[in-house]
Chains A and B, each alone.
With several copies, the nearest count.
Chain A
Amino acid sequence: MADVRIAAAAFDVGSEFAALTQSRTDIGGVGCFVGTVRGAAGGRALVALTLEHYPEMTERALAAIAAEAERRWDLLGCRLVHRVGRMVPGDPIVLVLAASAHRQSALEATAFLIDWLKTRAPFWKKESFADGTETWVDARESDDEAAAQWGADQAAIC
């Protein structure tokens, strides 16, 4: 039921929402999260963000994350879109949509999906700054903690 996609080009939030909900009368609520590229990091001006991924593994990982959300909540639809390649500030990076009959499931599943996606899908961010330097983004402990609150099975991650 879930629909996961890696996108090289920018996606359109309205189109993704429409694709999930069109002609559906069983859905009562749709939760959504969109992550976007910020124009600064650590106080320095950012000119681009480049997302590298592990192509053969990425869609499998996204599908597994969506399947886990569908196992935990009674979802009527689930959609994950993640961009790869070069993006500029203001661009959307990632979209999570979770539809359910009731709002609580939709919103909880949305939070779960983005938390797991941040810690369990093989993407890596590189920041390009206005001064010409480039840095790979460090993983954040707060992301691990956010993911762990869902009872994440950390044994699966080496």
Chain B
Amino acid sequence: MSDGRPVRIRYFAWLRERLGIGEEQIELPAGVATVNDLQLWLRQRGPAWDTVFAMSRTVRCAVNQQFAGPDVAVNPGDEVAFFPPVTGG
């Protein structure tokens, strides 16, 4: 459910490069309540989006800067990030 506040979505590393976007703000779409819902919604944007998010084993997520599994809730005002498994250190 949207209360008017946007969701900020951020993309990192090869997701950012393949999707051609580092961040965006969207109105939370109807029916999108979790990370998994949001991924399904993003996949409908076109072939590049579908391909990237189809690699579910290699796409990780954070909600409000905390690692988040597919069932974690997404609410208006949240910041959601998608990225590959981390490779620092």
Interface residues on A, range: 20 to 34
Partner of A122, one of B12, B14, B35, B79: B12
**Of listed A121, A126, A156, A158, residue having the most chain B CB within 10 A:** A158
CB of B87 within 8 A of CB of A54, answer no
A117 in contact with B83 given A158-B60, A158-B67 (CB within 8 Å): no
Q: Chain A interface secondary structure, helix, strand, loop or mixed?
A: mixed
Interface string of B43-65 (1 = CB under 8 A from A): 00000000000000000111001
Residues from 88 to 125 in A contacting B, C-beta threshold 8 Å: 93-94, 103, 114, 117-125
Which chain B residues border A18 with CB–CB below 8 Å?
none
Which chain B residues border A123 with CB–CB below 8 Å?
86-89
User: How many interface residues does B have (CB within 8 Å)?
Assistant: 24
B44 to chain A, nearest CB (A): 21
A144 nearest CB neighbor, chain B only: B85
CB of B62 within 8 A of CB of A122, answer yes
B34 to chain A, nearest CB (A): 11
Report Cα–Cα, A51/B14, bound state, in Å.
12
**Of listed B65, B68, B72, residue having the most chain A CB within 10 A:** B65
B85 nearest CB neighbor, chain A only: A139
Partner of B86, one of A103, A122, A126, A156: A122
Report Cα–Cα, A143/B85, bound state, in Å.
11
Interface string of B1-14 (1 = CB under 8 A from A): 00000000010111
B13 nearest CB neighbor, chain A only: A124
CB of B87 within 8 A of CB of A138, answer yes
CB of B72 within 8 A of CB of A158, answer yes
CB of A121 within 8 A of CB of B69, answer no
State whether the Cβ of B77 lies closer than 8 Å to any Cβ in chain A.
no
CB of A158 within 8 A of CB of B86, answer no
State whether the Cβ of A56 lies closer than 8 Å to any Cβ in chain B.
yes
CB of A158 within 8 A of CB of B70, answer yes
User: Mind listing 20 A-B residue pairs with CB under 8 Å?
Assistant: A53-B88, A56-B79, A57-B66, A57-B81, A114-B89, A118-B86, A118-B89, A119-B86, A121-B86, A122-B12, A122-B81, A122-B86, A124-B84, A124-B88, A125-B87, A125-B88, A136-B13, A157-B60, A158-B35, A158-B67
Binding site for B on A (CB under 8 A): 35, 51-54, 56-57, 60-61, 82, 93-94, 103, 114, 117-126, 136-140, 143, 155-158
